[in-house]
Amino acid sequence: MNITVAKGINLGLRKAMEADPTVILMGEDIGKLGGVFRVTDGLQKDFGEDRVIDTPLAESGILGTAVGLALRGYRPVCEIQFDGFVYPAYDQIVSQVAKMRARSKGRSPMPIVIRIPFGGGIGAVEHHSESPEAYFAHTAGLKVVACANPVDSYWMIQQAIASDDPVVFLEPKRRYWEKGELDETEDPDPLHSARVVRAGQDVTVLAYGPMVKTCLEAAGAAAEEGHELEVIDLRSLSPLDLPAVYESVRRTGRAVVVHEAPLTLGLGAELAARITEECFHFLEAPVLRVAGFDTPYPPSRVEEDYLPDLDRVLDSVDRALAF
C-alpha cells in the first residue's frame, strides 16, 4: 500500500484494537472528529464510543484515568492533541506513569502509550509547535520513540501498544502527509533499534522524527560534492541504540547530530557525550550539533529561521570535514 504517516498510525491502531479488546483510545476530539490531524478517523465508528473515547479538555485527567485503566488490565492509548498541551499532564506522566512499575517492583505493568504530535513546520500558533522529547527521555521509567516514515508509523505504534512499559510515541506532525510503500508481510525492526537509512563513509549524521528527511536531503546535496554521508534514523530516544551509533562513527570518524529541539541539554548533547566517551580514539573531529535555538518557539512567520534546514546541516558537515 502507498500510505501516509498519519494513515500508517491509523492502520496500526486499528490492527492493535482488532487483536486485543483491552486496547482503548482516549483523547480530545479523537472520536467523531477523528482527531485534529484525522489520525483516528473512522475508528470510533468501527469500534464504538466505549473504546474510542472523546475526553474532556483535561490532559491531566486523561493520563490519570489511563493509569487506573492500566492497573485494571487495559492498554490505553492517549492522544495529546498538540505537543504544547502535554505539560498539564506532565505531573501524571512523571510522578505516576513512569514510576508505577518500579514502585510495585514490577508487579504492576503500565502499558500506556502517549501519542504526541511534535515539532514545527506547519505554521501553527503558540503552544502548537514544541519539541519536548528531552523532558521525557530524561525521566527514568519511560520509553520514548519517534517515527519518521509511514512504514515505521504503522509498525512502531503496534509495538508500543504491545509493550508493558509506558511509551511516549512522538509523531512528526509536519511529516503526517509524507507517503511511502507499506508491505505488511515484511518483519519490522525492533522498536528500540536505530536504522541506517543512507549508507556513507565520510560523516555519520544522526537524526530522528522530522529531521530524518532533512538530513537525507542534505546527504543528497553533499553527494553532488563528493561527500558520502551516513544517515541514521535513531527511532528510539530512550533507550538509545548506542551500539549502532558507535559502529557507524568508528567507521566514519565524524558525527553530526540534528534535532529541532533547543541545543542546550538536548538529545544531541547526550549523544555527543556518549560518542566522545566510547569512540574518542576513532574521532577525526569533535561531535557537532545542529539544533533549534535556545529561545521560546517563535511565531509561525519566522519558524523557518528557527528550524534546522539543509544549509545548516551541510555547514556542520563542512566544519566536521575541515578538521
- The predicted-structure confidence for 78-104, as pLDDT tens digits, reads as follows 999 999 999 999 999 999 999 999 999
CA distances from 141 to 120, 144, 239, 251 (A): 27, 10, 10, 33
pLDDT (tens digit per residue) in 104-152: 998 999 999 999 999 999 999 999 999 999 999 999 999 999 999 999 9
pLDDT (tens digit per residue) in 256-302: 999 999 999 999 999 999 999 999 999 999 999 999 999 999 998 89
CATH assignment of the domain containing 70:
3.40.50.970
pLDDT-derived band of residue 175, with 50, 70 and 90 as boundaries? very high
pLDDT (tens digit per residue) in 31-71: 999 999 999 999 999 999 999 999 999 999 999 999 999 99
Same domain assignment for residues 137 and 211: no
Cell of 46: 468501527
Q: What number is the average pLDDT over the span 217-222?
A: 97
Whether 244 is in a domain gets the answer yes
Number of domains in the chain: 2
Q: What number is the average pLDDT over the span 152-157?
A: 98
Instruction: For residue 250, count CB atoms less than 10 angstroms from its CB and return exposed for 0-12, middle for 13-18, buried for 19 or more.
Output: middle
Burial 161-181 (b: 16+ CB within 10 A, else e): bbbeebbbbbbbbbbbebebe
pTM of the model: 0.96
Whether 177 is in a domain gets the answer yes
Whether 190 is in a domain gets the answer no
The CA angle 110-114-115, to the nearest 5 degrees, is: 155
Same domain assignment for residues 241 and 169: no
**What is d(CA 232, CA 247) in angstroms, rounded to the nearest whole number?**
11
pLDDT for the residue 172: 98
Q: Residue 118 belongs to what domain range?
A: 2-181
Same domain assignment for residues 200 and 164: no
Residues with a catalytic annotation lie at 128
Indicate the residue among 147, 181, 215 that finishes a domain. Answer: 181
Same domain assignment for residues 101 and 217: no
pLDDT-derived band of residue 247, with 50, 70 and 90 as boundaries? very high
pLDDT for the residue 192: 98
Q: What number is the average pLDDT over the span 192-213?
A: 98
Same domain assignment for residues 144 and 8: yes
Indicate the residue among 130, 150, 181 that finishes a domain. Answer: 181
pLDDT for the residue 16: 98
Same domain assignment for residues 115 and 226: no
Same domain assignment for residues 225 and 78: no
Is residue 89 within 8 A of residue 63, CB to CB? The reply is yes
CATH assignment of the domain containing 206:
3.40.50.920
Same domain assignment for residues 16 and 137: yes
Same domain assignment for residues 132 and 220: no
**Please, what is the average pLDDT of the chain?**
97
Whether 168 is in a domain gets the answer yes
